[in-house]
Amino acid sequence: MALINEHFLKLPGSYLFADIAKKVNAYKVSHPQQRVISLGIGDVTQPLCPAVIKAMHKATDEMARKASFRGYGPERGYDFLREAIIKHDYLSRGVHIDPSEVFINDGAKSDTGNFQEILRWDNSIGVTDPVYPVYIDSNAMIGRAGVYEAGRWSSVTYLPCTAENNFIPSLPNHRVDMIYLCYPNNPTGTVLTKEELTKWVNYALENDAIILYDAAYQAYIRNDSIPHSIYEIRGARKVAVEFRSYSKTAGFTGVRCGYTIVPKEVTASTLNGERIALNGIWDRRQCTKFNGTSYISQRAAEAIYTPEGQRQVKETIDYYMTNASIMRDTLTRLGYQVYGGENAPYLWVKTPTGTDSWQFFEQLLYGVGVVCTPGVGFGPSGEGYIRFTAFGNREDCLEAMTRMTK
């Protein structure tokens, strides 16, 4: 008899955004005349920039000719993209990365969820709270998170990020093996200074821990003093794996491309104390389970780094950050406590006194036809907050703020 992996049965009934979709669809059925405006799901709305489209057309034409057709590509990714990443994303900030440390993927969500499987199931994990659900759910699937009760996992160390601590997580008061950090943060939209990030790198060095660092929103940083990469911190190459994505940077949510950096210095131990480099283990895993990102997607990503591509992508990012400013200014004027939205495309909004996250979600939906994301869906410390995203169309953003004002 085939036995199921019962750790999957411990997961909450459905994924957060699936719950939101069900509630929104039910509202649409009962209110067919109302146009719903979604500021909750973090999907982009602006089209791919011209430089990317041009590169995709060219790559498609190449695939139509026998002389330039490509089948399976290298699992790590094509050299042309990995070299562009090193030059523009790292060398430009004084960070040296070897090409063998760059792994092209089909978006950061895949690798942030998959990377944990090369580490033992009984490693302890710590997560900032609130947190992107994939980090915990993927660990729960392997049995590392324990049991889910009253909105918390029994074997997870939660690191609260609230207004009371300025959304800066405190270091654990005990040893944690694996630490998930996401900055600029999803969902709170907040950032860590170089000094704060240095504390985490030092903690990992002192405790022989590994930091899984999600930098998917680094392109939205406006403050020049905020680090874009954890490798800007001395010693991080020994303890950190970094994930990046083109989904929100360049509108690739439907194209699928990103990358993971696994420095050769990052190691983990066997039970008998032998140190093993994670770079080689991850490479072995990818060669077994992943056939590489499509050639067309990688050529599209390469185009982001051309002068035209960089200018055009910046224009799109500026568009979304203008949306964030509009929402931040309006909500603040209406008396809400608003966080984020200055170095990230997310706004973290305190609900009115005594209103829980799902209750306020339904008040917005049924009151003005606007969709947000309930903060409690991101973890216990998210209760009493909602998340807005800046990825909507400008007209929808303005209309949503007008409805809330009225």
8 Å CB contact between 174 and 142:
no
Give the Cα separation of 192 and 169 in Å (integer).
Answer: 9
Structure tokens at 107: 């978006």
| Backbone dihedral angles phi then psi of residue 165, each to the nearest 5 degrees | -110, 20
Annotated binding site for substrate: 15, 42, 109, 132, 186, 291, 387
What is the signed CA dihedral for 49, 55, 61, 65, rounded to 10 degrees?
Answer: -160
The H or E element that residue 52 is part of is helix 50-63
Annotated binding site for pyridoxal 5'-phosphate: 72, 108-109, 132, 186, 217, 245-247, 256, 291
Would you mind telling me the total number of residues written for the chain in this entry?
406
Tell me how far apart the terminal alpha carbons of the chain are, to the nearest angstrom.
Answer: 61
DSSP 8-state class, residue 312: H
Annotated binding site: 15, 42, 72, 108-109, 132, 186, 217, 245-247, 256, 291, 387
- Whole-angstrom CA distances from 194 to 65, 126, 148, 197 are 49, 20, 34, 5
Cis peptide bond upstream of 130, omega within 30:
yes
Q: Is 233 exposed, middle or buried (0-12, 13-18, 19+ CB in 10 A)?
A: buried
8 Å CB contact between 12 and 379:
no
Can you list the pairs that 47-50 forms with residues at least 24 positions away whose Cβ atoms lie under 8 Å?
Answer: 47/251, 48/250, 48/251, 48/252, 48/255, 48/300, 49/250, 49/251, 49/304, 49/309, 49/312, 49/313, 49/315, 49/316, 50/308, 50/312
Residue 157, beta-bridge partner list: 126
Structure tokens at 210: 């590994």
Q: Is 226 exposed, middle or buried (0-12, 13-18, 19+ CB in 10 A)?
A: middle
Q: Considering just the CA atoms, what is the radius of gyration of the chain in Å?
A: 21
